[in-house]
Chain A
Amino acid sequence: MREGLAGKYVGAKVRRVEDRRLLTGRGRYIDDLNLPDMAHAAFLRSPYPHAHIRRVDIDSARRMAGVFLVLTGADMARLTNPFLGMMALDGLYDPVFYALATDRVRVVGDPVAIVVAESRRVAEDACELIDVEYEPIAAIANMAQAMDPMRPPIWPRARSNVLWEDSQTYGDVEVAFAGADRVIRERFAQHRQSNQPMETRGSVAEIDPVSGELIFHSATQSAHSLKWSLAFLLERTSVWRSIRELATNREKPRKFVVGARAFIKSHPDLRTATKSSQPAMLKQLRREPKRIVHLSEALLGLLAKDPSRRPRVLAQDIGGAFGAKGLVPREDVALATAALQLGRSVKWIEDRNEHLMVGGQAREETLDIDVAVTSDGTILGLKVHMTMDVGAYPGFPFNGAFFAQMVKVMMPGPYRIGALRFDTTITASNKGTYVPYRGPWAAETWVRERMIDVVARELGIGRADIRLANMIGADELPAAMVTGPPLDVRMSARRTLEEALRVADFDSWDAIRDQARSEGRIVGMGLATFIEAAPGPPKFFDYISPGFSALAGVEPAHAVLEVDGSLSVITQQVPHGQGHETTLAQVAADELGVAVEAVRVRYGDSSITPFSLFGTGGSRSAAMAGGVVTVAAQELRQRVVDIASDLMEASTEDIVIEDGHIHVAGTPAIGVSFAEVAAEAVRRRPGSPSDGAIRVTSEWDGGAGGWAQATHVCWVEIDLDTGLVTIPRYVVVEDCGELINPAIVDGQIRGGVAQGIGAVLYERAAYDGDANFQAGTFMDFLIPTAMEIPDVEIHHLQTPSDIFANYRGVGEGGMIAAPAALTNAIEDALAHLGARITEQHLPPARILELAGVIEAEAPTEVGPPDYSAAAAVPAPRPSLIRERMPTLTPAQAQAVRRTATSVRSGARRFADRYAGRP
């Protein structure tokens, strides 16, 4: 066992090197980039949730002074390859679509045209001159409508708005339920939320005036993923042309094929995974044969493309993402195409209104859960049916269905749950794209922790007692979740719970609450415990989707001694608020024996950063990048020591590096500098010094990996006059292994808790019953401010371990547990009034409805039908659905068109809401 946890910098609250730049307004965000002769783009967007496009007239817009280019969906179909879902889930309908809407719009905000002009204002003026004739179609606003076979399918090829149904069983569910004293059932509904980073999406498509190359500056979470996606999607080329190109230049594909072959060879499990997903892919092709044409055009085009035609992606400072910037925006493809057509750089910065509409929405999931328990509170098994509304256009390359798989695998959490049946239903709607949002699988924690409270209440057992009775303890480890992932000895969820109960003085709570009630105050306290695969056990992603671990790949990094003696770490991570420039420098500085300021962390440029498709996400950076930087810095140190020992004629074991000074142990007065070592390295290796004097490239597979965990305790006080909820105290007891920078860890936890509180009390990406968007400004979509968020009291459990790079992620955990702790506290406060909390969004009016103070109004969000009842009714056959698709009589169509002209635009709706009119 190691004695201490920390190095000189690792473990210290090192001040973020980013902050001087960011806090003095010297950050370089996308909108700070201004290139000579740069044009500006704006998008014309659909005011309708669902409509045929009958005609698009761009003539007057194109003729307007200052307008350079107008492109529509028809141009996209000609110039680009379509977005093609790559999710090989058996039976999932994954649609084919273009950057701009072609024949129909499917969501309010669907981009219909891009206008490029001398300024953003002129581009917006020109958008107003584009005349689009829409013919509205009945919209799908919620899960119930998606399951109504009388409603038209959003994707006609899917023949239904139910895009996927799946059922998986782990352990012996029948036995578990047969042996139960009680089966307790509940339905929980998460509302549609939205990531809403401070900086919206945006890009500058720069065209190198000399070479014509595309340099794509973007606020993205993954530079390489965006680069290859753009290379795949841009510049459609016919199959014949690509083949001709490849035939005349055979060297071109060779390197690519050799590399691909080597990659597949080094990942044998990828092969079996590919084999197992082949039937699903074939099914998709049979359903939509045109996919073959699109896939061939895109893949052959990519092979035949000159490497210089692959875009270079550059990301600099990014104002947050929370998952929303890990996908490829359709707007980016339209923007890059416009720039390539014009041969001139173009900027697009997303408005807040656009970002709220189509920048990414998340978490709209309903979970029906049955728990088999014995009367003493032992949980024997679960049956869960999850319905997920993924909106209209699937995220590329991550369809929402991928995250449903994560919910399934994580469902047991840190509890001894021996049997699980997990059914999944994925539905489409005319709403924004489902994107991952800070702990995209968090429904499992919310539903499980809420349900445990329900079971405790039903059985008359204490809320802490039932958790302690079912949570896996240290003496039972190692163990495994019934869904597969192993739980190693460092899985300490139970320790965090025990410590949290102590810190919160849980045992005296009931008396405190009852005393408060007798004084007329309504108070409550809630608990929630979670574990997070950050990065998870080895090959964790294979439990989610076979073969995905290989695709997610190992974490690479370069460590470089530059010719001037300075030190750089080059990472594929794309930090967007996490402070990697500080934390990775801390790790490298400790290994290299230099000051933290001496290490520069470089990132974001696909032409210099090592290849990985993952980018930054999934709370993996600390473990994966922290690990690989440790390895790379150690290797670099060895190379430095080798040269230094020659220069000083000493043995390598005697070389010490302290405070940036290289010397022989015991004689600090005589030594060499990094610059001298660099000069010597260059002398020994003549040639281009542009790559640095010494450059090492390392990879790290995550090693033992592991789990991050925490228990949250939330206290609430509720004003039953107004329904307003205040949070007087909030405690987090967490264990994420060793802390690289405690200040940054605390910041991540606080930010996550703030978003979790926001989700429950304030934020909702609301649509009405006809799928019209209701939350297009920050007056409608309410993000909590510093006035609403309490101080978060954080306790760290750190266990020394011999495991190499014992860092685990902490980026998402705050948000995973906060909604559970808060809703549990609210139910505790209102329990004596008979309130049962089964929905996650609890604005003040809803609190008073649940408390019985005011009468309830019908919600616009309607969940799926009761599955237990639905089972008795035969599901409609697909052919039946098609037959029943309503066809309009000419008179009806005329009526629809008339309505269309009287329907107010999205902006007009905003004005009405601003007015407070219904």
Chain B
Amino acid sequence: MKIPRFTYHRPATEEEALAMLTEFGEDAKVLAGGQSLIPLMALRLSRPAHLIDIGGLRELAAIRERSGTVSVGAAVRHVEVERSALVARAAPLAAAAMPHIGHGAIRNRGTACGSLAHADPAAELPAVALAAGASFVVRRASGERTVPASEFFLGYLTCDMGPDELLVEWRLPTWPVTAGWSVQEVSRRHGDFALLGMAAMIDTDPVGRISTAALSLFGAASTPIRVDAAEKLLTGEPPSAALFDEAAEIVKGQLDPPGDLHGTAAYRKHLGAVLTRRCLSEAAGRLGAAA
């Protein structure tokens, strides 16, 4: 199939890009790496009249550390996040997710912010953002706002952004050096979207009890989801296999995942327990590893 006719724009500055978004609104789509948008257009499922390519906006192409956050710009490719020493040190949860994203060729072109704005519930980064307590800087010609990850993902392929807004920055709080992390998923083949996946972080207090727990699932619902009940159970307890088993059962009980060609709902629920156990035990093994 061939992409229906559209107009291609390549603004030279962010101001120009925002002006175009204001002008075209619903008729425009932002093109970053194109790894999701272009196939959707080729299948004629998405038909924007205007594509605004932000690939030339140098000011959005950097990964920076400032005032307790790691900031990933809108034009930063997955591969740059994957290879960033800064991300590995100060955002190890995001770094752990990178190898799971598609294949090398996809990561060479696709962008982190593009994946986040696309808000595919089976993608890794939205779940990472949710677990890590990240936030998003969203800009329009008339101003800027910052949205926490917990409020950003609204539904299937839908996030809290207007048609005239651009996601300019993904901000991850600098990793607490004592905390452990894990990103795991089950997919049919290497590089496929996950049937179910989890991004997890746990931190402990000086006496070795879990002080913070974040369990964020992808592929489980129309958005990435946190499992509060399991997180509550973990908090205040010393990490142990028995505790993780208990948390796994809670996750399984809380899940109401869809069934499809690749796995039944019962299978995905079961994976919820498996991934909880695996992620928690890996994260526990990494407690203090970032120090």
Residues of A within 8 A of B (CB): 119-121, 124-125, 351, 353, 721-724, 762, 764, 766, 774-775, 777, 779-780, 782, 784-785, 787-788, 843-845, 848, 853-855, 857, 907, 910-911, 913, 915-918
Contacts and interface: CB of A to CB of B under 8 A. Distances in A.
Given A724-B186, A782-B189, A787-B189, A775 B43 contact: no
B189 A784 contact: yes
Contacts of B66: none
Contacts of A853: 270
Contact of A844 (B45, B122, B259, B267): B267
A854 B45 contact: no
A857 B264 contact: yes
A915 B119 CA distance: 11
B189 A785 contact: yes
B1 A353 contact: yes
24 contacts: A120-B2, A121-B2, A125-B5, A353-B1, A722-B186, A722-B274, A779-B193, A780-B261, A782-B189, A784-B189, A785-B190, A787-B189, A787-B191, A788-B189, A788-B190, A843-B188, A843-B263, A845-B267, A854-B266, A907-B45, A910-B45, A916-B219, A917-B156, A918-B259
A845 B259 CA distance: 10
B4 interface: yes
Given A121-B4, A854-B266, A907-B45, A913 B260 contact: yes
A910 B189 contact: no
B258 A854 contact: no
B58 to A, nearest CB: 33
A645 B157 CA distance: 80
CB-CB nearest 3 A-B residue pairs: A845-B267, A787-B190, A121-B2
Contacts of B264: 845, 854, 857
B262 interface: yes
Contacts of A911: 45
Which of B191, B192, B267 has the most C-beta atoms of chain A within 10 angstroms of its own C-beta?
B267
A351 B3 CA distance: 13
Contact of A915 (B157, B186, B195, B267): B157
A780 B274 CA distance: 24
Nearest to B277: A721
A848 B274 CA distance: 13
Interface in B233-291: 258-264, 266-267, 270-271, 274, 278
A918 to B, nearest CB: 5
Contacts of A843: 188, 262-263
Nearest to B1: A351
Nearest to B259: A918
B121 interface: yes
B44 interface: yes
B258 A762 contact: no
B241 to A, nearest CB: 14
Given A844-B263, A917-B258, A854 B270 contact: yes
B276 to A, nearest CB: 11
A857 B258 contact: no
A918 B5 CA distance: 32
Contacts of A913: 260-261
Contacts of A779: 192-193
Contacts of B266: 845, 854-855, 857
A916 B189 contact: no
Interface residues of B, number: 35
Contacts of A918: 258-260
Contacts of B5: 121, 125
A762 B17 CA distance: 43
Given A843-B262, A854-B267, A915-B121, 4 more contacts: A782-B192, A855-B266, A910-B45, A915-B157
Interface of B: 1-5, 43-45, 121-122, 156-157, 186, 188-193, 195, 219, 222, 258-264, 266-267, 270-271, 274, 278
A722 B3 CA distance: 38
B43 A722 contact: no
Nearest to A123: B2
Given A762-B188, A848-B267, A907 B261 contact: no
B17 to A, nearest CB: 27
Contacts of A121: 2-5
Contacts of B193: 779
Nearest to A845: B267
Contacts of A907: 43-45
Contacts of A775: 261
Contacts of B186: 722, 724, 844
A802 B271 CA distance: 60
A721 B4 contact: no
Contact of A848 (B3, B219, B270): B270
Contacts of A917: 156, 222, 258
Contacts of A910: 43, 45
A915 B156 contact: yes
Contacts of B263: 843-845
Contacts of A124: 1-2, 4, 44
A426 B267 CA distance: 34
Given A845-B267, A848-B270, A915-B156, A857 B259 contact: yes
A766 B263 CA distance: 13
Which of B190, B259, B261 has the most C-beta atoms of chain A within 10 angstroms of its own C-beta?
B261
A788 B187 CA distance: 12
Contacts of B4: 121, 124-125
A721 B258 CA distance: 19
Contacts of A845: 262-264, 266-267
A106 B156 CA distance: 33
Contacts of B3: 121
Nearest to A40: B2
Contacts of A855: 266
A782 B188 contact: yes
A785 B191 contact: yes
A854 B263 CA distance: 11
Contacts of A857: 259, 264, 266
Given A121-B2, A916-B121, A762 B270 contact: no
Contacts of B122: 916
A352 B263 CA distance: 23
A659 to B, nearest CB: 45
Contacts of A916: 121-122, 219, 258, 260
Nearest to B195: A844
A916 B156 CA distance: 9
Contacts of A787: 189-191
B43 A353 contact: yes
A830 B3 CA distance: 48
A789 to B, nearest CB: 11
A764 B271 CA distance: 22
B261 A722 contact: no
A750 to B, nearest CB: 18
Contacts of B259: 857, 918
A721 B175 CA distance: 31
A489 B274 CA distance: 55
A913 B45 CA distance: 13
Contacts of A777: 43
A848 B190 CA distance: 20
Nearest to A860: B261
Which of A351, A780, A843 has the most C-beta atoms of chain B within 10 angstroms of its own C-beta?
A843
Nearest to A918: B258
Contacts of A762: 188-189
A775 B260 CA distance: 11
B216 to A, nearest CB: 17
Contacts of B258: 916-918
Contacts of A723: 267
B34 to A, nearest CB: 16
Contacts of B219: 916
A916 B155 CA distance: 12
A782 B195 CA distance: 13
